[in-house]
Amino acid sequence: MKAAVIVFPGSNCDRDIAVSLETAMGAPPAMVWHGDADIPKVDLIVVPGGFSYGDYLRSGAMAAHSPVMGEVKARADKGVPVLGICNGFQILTECGLLPGILMRNASLKFICRDVYLRVESNDSLFTSAYGKDDVIRIPMAHHDGNYFSDEATIERLEDNGQVAFRYCDETGAITTDANPNGSLRNIAGIYNETKTVLGMMPHPERLAETLLGGTDGRPMFDGLVEALG
Amino acid sequence: MKARVHITLKTSVLDPQGKAISHALGALGFSGVDDVRQGKYIELEIDETDPEKAHQNVQSMCERLLANPVIEDYAIELDG
């Protein structure tokens, strides 16, 4: 598998995801600067976390229109898998690759802690190494992660099985108390219609090595390598 | 000419920041504030002199960047 990581001014998880990918792939990913309109031929594109363009206007709004995103959209339309984490998820919604928007957390606080996620389905490139309904512990660190979309869109996501992860408690129960940011239906991550684009607010790359205190994020990267060769 | 754009959250969207402001006003002793909604205000200096074209132009800016149609409405005023 070959991968590219897009780097914006203000990205700060690009190095972390590069390490996770390299561990899984055995070779480093290409780091692509946002001003480049070209991306090498790769099997996976990652839009990493951070604070691209200082979150000006709305989180992800500026990055969504940077030169490289036109190419990311074109590749995604051809079926190249795209993974957006945290700010990457915000960018993917702003550029229209995923529906809805990430609003300010309901508590208005920046929240940085581990949360539990329930794997809603494992029939995607990203989640094939997890079991359905697995409960995984993944760190979150964001101010704008409150997933919102209109009711018709939410129903469509549910009907098509496009909800990838939901915030849950340690036992996997989807409760209001386990919802850290007010997201509709505890949504922590969603797919596009073909499940080749995944956006998620929590950071699997931050718990992908024993040294970091956990490895629940690791199967995502191992599963991608397994699926994409 | 100058374009003034007001961006507001759709009425169907909860506004936790507005709610926090409302509580803070109450704590400061301002009574009788039933609801607060927070939005954005953007001023643009544009070259266009034809108001109709200017409006179209700014509307396109709102749709593509300034506002997010999932949660926001916008209103455009022109003068000059």
Domain that holds residue A188: 3-228
Contact A148 B65 (CB under 8 A): no
Q: What is the CATH number of domain B2-79?
A: 3.30.1280.10
Q: Does B68 touch chain A (CB under 8 A)?
A: yes
Cβ pair A208, A194 in contact under 8 A: no
What pLDDT sits at residue B16? Answer: 87
In degrees rounded to 5, what are phi and psi of residue A207? Answer: -135, 65
Cβ–Cβ < 8 Å for A138, A201? no
The CA distances from residue A121 to A33, A37, A152, A185, A188, in Å, are 33, 34, 21, 16, 13
d(CA A78, CA A145): 28
Element (H, E) at A223: helix A218-228
What are the C-alpha distances in Å from A127 to residues A80, A195, A202, A225? 16, 10, 14, 11
- Looking at the complex, does the CB of residue A55 fall below 8 Å from at least one CB of chain B? no
| B24 and A CB contact within 8 Å | no
CATH number at residue A57: 3.40.50.880
Q: What is the DSSP letter of A29?
A: P
Do residues A188 and A165 touch, judged by C-beta distance below 8 A?
yes
Q: How confident is the model at residue A229 (pLDDT cuts 50, 70, 90)?
A: confident
Cβ-Cβ contacts under 8 Å, B13 against chain A: 103, 148
- Looking at every residue in chain A, the average pLDDT score rounds to 97
A81-131 per-position pLDDT tens digit? 999 999 999 999 999 999 999 999 999 999 999 999 999 989 999 999 999
Q: How confident is the model at residue A37 (pLDDT cuts 50, 70, 90)?
A: confident
Q: How many domains are there within chain A?
A: 1
Distance, CA of B40 to CA of B30 (rounded, Å) = 23
